[in-house]
Amino acid sequence: MIEALIFDFDGVILETETPDFASWQEIFAEHGCALPRADWCAAIGLGATAMPFSPYDLLETQVGRRVDRDAVRERRHRRYLELVAAENIMAGVETLIADAHRAGLKLGVASSSDRAWVRGHLERLGLMDHFTTIKTADDVKRTKPHPDLYLAATEALGVRPDTALALEDSANGVTAARRAGLYCVAIPNAMTRELALDHADLRLISLTEMSLREILSVLETQRR
């Protein structure tokens, strides 16, 4: 029986994945270069410190010279924040949270992003008070795809991993949840729709596709 829902943050609660990629795309385009979408998407969910490649290194390799990394970093980050600020809570999130409260389920967040980023946006969106625990990269030694974040979140919520459901948008996030022993529903966004998410228990187009009751019913049937 499911006792808790644990949300990923980036790409599940707030669409930050597309703005992140778009802001880097603009930088590469300004230098007459292109950022491979496939390489970027494969790294989604890992967290900034675990990126398998450096956009700065890739940019310098393509232009054939060193770039002013400080200037690129400042411009890229400013543009990223502008794009994210224009985003609202992703479809279905608020309804799912309300349904979870009515069902008596505990709520948490497990994100590979840093604490200030996640908490700052949850406050801005008016969602902070809904979550009993928020675990981020600042709370564990290893981020996704390792299970540490989900194990920390379930421990803080006082539930066994096999009684918790993770909501994820990336292959790395699904891997982390499954390694921790949680059920997992994948809700890919515009950046992750082409990734292999077959290791999730259920894949939805968006959180508006099924009600919480329907999701739980499907999962319970699958695990019998």
Q: Which of the two residues, 31 and 222, has the higher pLDDT score? A: 31
In a shared domain, residues 34 and 95: no
In a shared domain, residues 100 and 33: no
Let me know: does 117 contact 137? Beta carbons within 8 Å. Answer: no
End-of-domain residue from the set 64, 85, 106:
85
Task: Write the CA distances from 193 to 49, 186, 218, integer angstroms.
Answer: 24, 10, 21
Tens of pLDDT, residues 166-205? 999 988 999 999 999 999 999 998 888 878 889 999 999 9
Known catalytic residue at 162: no
In a shared domain, residues 55 and 138: no
Q: Which of the two residues, 59 and 44, has the higher pLDDT score? A: 59
In a shared domain, residues 214 and 201: yes
Which token pair is 189?
């966004």
Cα torsion angle, 17, 134, 87, 209, sign:
positive
pTM above 0.85, yes or no: yes
pLDDT over threshold 80, residue 45? no
End-of-domain residue from the set 85, 111, 133:
85
Which phi and psi angles does 109 have, rounded to 5°?
A: -130, 140
Q: Which of 8, 148, 169, 201 is catalytic?
A: 8
In a shared domain, residues 75 and 140: no
Mean pLDDT of 59-82: 94
Tens of pLDDT, residues 102-111? 999 999 999 9
Q: How far is CA 68 from the centre of its chain?
A: 30
End-of-domain residue from the set 85, 109, 130:
85
The C-alpha atoms of residue 174 and residue 200 are separated, in whole angstroms, by 6
Known catalytic residue at 8: yes
In a shared domain, residues 9 and 24: no
In a shared domain, residues 186 and 132: yes
In a shared domain, residues 115 and 191: yes
In a shared domain, residues 110 and 151: yes
pLDDT over threshold 70, residue 220? yes
In a shared domain, residues 171 and 161: yes
Which helix (H) or strand (E) covers residue 18, if one does?
helix 17-30
Residue 208 belongs to a domain with what CATH number?
A: 3.40.50.1000
C-beta atoms surrounding 89 within 10 Å: 16
188 CB-near residues (< 8 Å, 6+ apart): 169, 170, 195, 197, 203
Q: Which structural domain range is residue 138 located in?
A: 4-15+89-222
Q: What was the pLDDT predicted at 158?
A: 98
In a shared domain, residues 170 and 81: no
Which helix (H) or strand (E) covers residue 108, if one does?
strand 106-110
In a shared domain, residues 107 and 149: yes
Q: What is the 3-state secondary structure (H, E, C) of 174-221?
A: HHHHHHHCCEEEECCCCCCCCCCCCCCCEECCCCCCCCHHHHHHHHHH
Give ∠ CA 31-35-38 in degrees, rounded to 5.
175
Specify the 3-state DSSP secondary structure of 57: helix
Q: How many domains does the chain have?
A: 2
Cα torsion angle, 41, 42, 43, 46, sign:
positive
